[in-house]
Amino acid sequence: MPDPAVSRSNLSPVPLMQLSTGFWAFKTLAAADELDLFTRLSDTAGITSEELVQALGIHPRPAEMLLTGCAALGLLEKEGSRYRNSPLAEEFLVRGKPYYFGGFVKMLDKRLYPGWGKLTEAIRTNRPTTWDPDRQASLFDGEDPAMLAFFWEAMHSISTFTARALAEAMDFGRFRRLLDVGGGSGAYDIELCRRYPQLRATVYDLPFVTEIAAGKVAEAGLSDRIEVAAGDFFADAVFPGGHDAILLSMILHDWSEAKDREILRKCHEALPSGGVVIITELLVNDEKTGPAPAALMSLNMLIETEGRNYTPAEYGAWLDELGFRDIRTVWFDGTGANGAVLGYKG
């Protein structure tokens, strides 16, 4: 008789090892970014382990481990005894570069990682873990300086690249004025206006956020084409008019279905006939089986908000009920979104 404790299965737990240790990779990246490793190495001949010891004033043991870990993750490349930025790190992890991703890494590390530590609690209670719903109405309520310091910087990091992916997937050449509802730092507006010279845009967001956006827009030298409109998309009866396209990027996943339908109703009202609403999100598939970045962003919404990541079918049904026509989904490969659901006002 074969011993029943000896498995005949071909299955291996190696995929579970990869899943379970995912945070090792993330924390290695976050520590390297916090120590400014990639910025330090940008456009240099690289660094040896001994030089890193000197530069950071750290013990040789962690210096060697950090460099080896970053090389293993494809963030550094080694030639002789010197470690250099890989092309990925050079393009996206060097502070000051146009598509710098470190702002998002920092927010994940400092804000979301502790919140995810209480994911089971969030699942049990259906309450966020990164802020206290007994003291705040939402994630965006209150002007916590720590939050101000990195939330919108993080959004800027992921949205600049998402805007680029969107601009490559659909033609903005036929639109003249874009209203970016909850436009945050103005990342989409800056990227889209740079690519489409006929386009003008309005960043519509809470007053303390439009101040951040105005600063980013001025830095980009686009203040003559991008304006800001301070407001509140729940409290305001109508949205700013005169726009033929309205963008909602990573807005609807923050809120309940009822609130989202109300935001979409105001979008419909603000658009002229033929105007378009563009919903960009990490879209969960209609079968609700993935893809993983969207499904996990949805759990991220559990610890941060009252929303979730919806499907194209869900958005399509809401848009259809409001009278939007030619509803379709454009897929692309971005950081903050994998697609856009579009609907035209009839």
Ligand X SMILES: C[S@@+](CC[C@H](N)C(=O)[O-])C[C@H]1O[C@@H](n2cnc3c(N)ncnc32)[C@H](O)[C@@H]1O
Cα separation, 240 vs 203, whole angstroms: 10
Asked if residue 191 binds ligand X (CB under 6 A), the reply is no
Min CB(52)–ligand X separation in Å: 34
Cα separation, 153 vs 15, whole angstroms: 34
Place of tokens 């010197």: 82
Q: Which is nearer to ligand X, 103 or 182 (CB)?
A: 182
Min CB(251)–ligand X separation in Å: 5
Asked if residue 205 binds ligand X (CB under 6 A), the reply is yes
- 281 in Cβ contact with 337 (< 8 Å): yes
Asked if residue 249 binds ligand X (CB under 6 A), the reply is yes
**Helical H segments across 233-324, by residue range:** 257-270, 292-304, 312-322
Min CB(205)–ligand X separation in Å: 4
Asked if residue 187 binds ligand X (CB under 6 A), the reply is yes
**Helical H segments across the chain, by residue range:** 14-20, 22-34, 37-41, 49-56, 60-72, 87-92, 102-107, 113-116, 119-125, 145-169, 187-195, 207-219, 257-270, 292-304, 312-322
Question: DSSP string spanning 30-64?
Answer: HHHHHTTHHHHHTTSS-B-HHHHHHHHT--HHHHH
DSSP structural state of residue 90:
H
Min CB(304)–ligand X separation in Å: 9
Asked if residue 206 binds ligand X (CB under 6 A), the reply is yes
Side chain identity, residue 11: L
Task: Choose the binding region for ligand X from 243-251, 269-277, 306-314, 316-324 (rule: CB under 6 A).
Answer: 243-251
Which among 59, 156, 243, 253 is annotated as catalytic? Answer: 253
Asked if residue 159 binds ligand X (CB under 6 A), the reply is yes
Residue whose beta carbon is closest to ligand X: 184
Asked if residue 233 binds ligand X (CB under 6 A), the reply is yes
Q: Which is nearer to ligand X, 157 or 311 (CB)?
A: 157
Beta bridge partners of 76: 85
Q: Which is nearer to ligand X, 77 or 99 (CB)?
A: 99
> In the chain, how many H helices and how many E strands?
15, 9
Site for ligand X in 102-141 (CB under 6 A): 140
Asked if residue 297 binds ligand X (CB under 6 A), the reply is no
Asked if residue 154 binds ligand X (CB under 6 A), the reply is no
Q: Has 243 been annotated as catalytic?
A: no
Cα separation, 32 vs 105, whole angstroms: 10
Asked if residue 232 binds ligand X (CB under 6 A), the reply is yes
Task: Choose the binding region for ligand X from 47-55, 67-75, 228-236, 265-273 (rule: CB under 6 A).
Answer: 228-236
* Angle, helix 60-72 to helix 22-34, in steps of 10 degrees: 120
Min CB(22)–ligand X separation in Å: 23
Residue ranges that bind ligand X, judged by CB under 6 A: 140, 155, 159, 182-184, 187, 205-206, 209, 232-234, 249-251, 254, 336
- Report, as residue numbers or ranges, the catalytic residues: 253
